[in-house]
Amino acid sequence: MYIIAGLGNPGKEYGNTRHNAGYEAVDALAEKYNISVLDLKHKALIGKGMICGQKVALVKPLTFMNLSGESLRMAVDYYKVDPEEELIVISDDISLPPGQLRVRKKGSAGGHNGLKNIIKMLGTENFQRVRLGVGEKPRGYDLVDWVLGHYNKEERAAMDAAVDKAVQAVELMLEHGAEAAMNEFNRKVQNNADSVRG
């Protein structure tokens, strides 16, 4: 079984914000595969189903971003999955342009507090992740205001495309492994911003 976790903040006021890119990707997976993500447990909304022949639990932590690891620790323990092999975390990334995707097998939090808490609670950096670019904070902006801000029309269109690509990346990861998804999606990255965030 795989846990596919999308990071975000609960509450209507956080809908359509940059920090909720992970939630959007899980919602898209849920819609495509007709999985109801409404069970309230492990401090998260959870839905179980099948994707590409694999049993999955779609997870949207309700702990708010900075404590995402609390929820995932509980889910990993409950479902008895190996986080280094059977966990995929989808999150936003300010070091990538809006709409760009980056798949990783492991790595540091790169300044992302949700990932930082997950690494702390799981005790490992070695878990798969799909990162959705939301654009770099403009000069003079507060970082919190930026990641909790809403998309403009062009960004929204780019993010819709990125969410579709995230669904494809997860499908590829489940069917053929993270390497296949990295080869498919990471080669399209045309800058070295990834080295900044790790």
Instruction: State how far the alpha carbon of 114 is from the alpha carbons of 12, 55, 68, 172, 190, in Å.
Output: 19, 25, 5, 24, 26
Alpha helices by DSSP H, listed for the chain, are 21-32, 68-79, 83-86, 113-122, 143-147, 153-176, 178-185, 194-197
Q: Which of 19, 112, 150, 176 is catalytic?
A: 19
Give the residue from 180, 34, 14 showing the smallest Cα distance to 24: 14
The answer to whether 4 touches 90, Cβ cutoff 8 Å, is yes
176 is known as an active-site residue: no
Q: Of how many residues is the chain composed?
A: 198
Residues involved in catalysis: 19
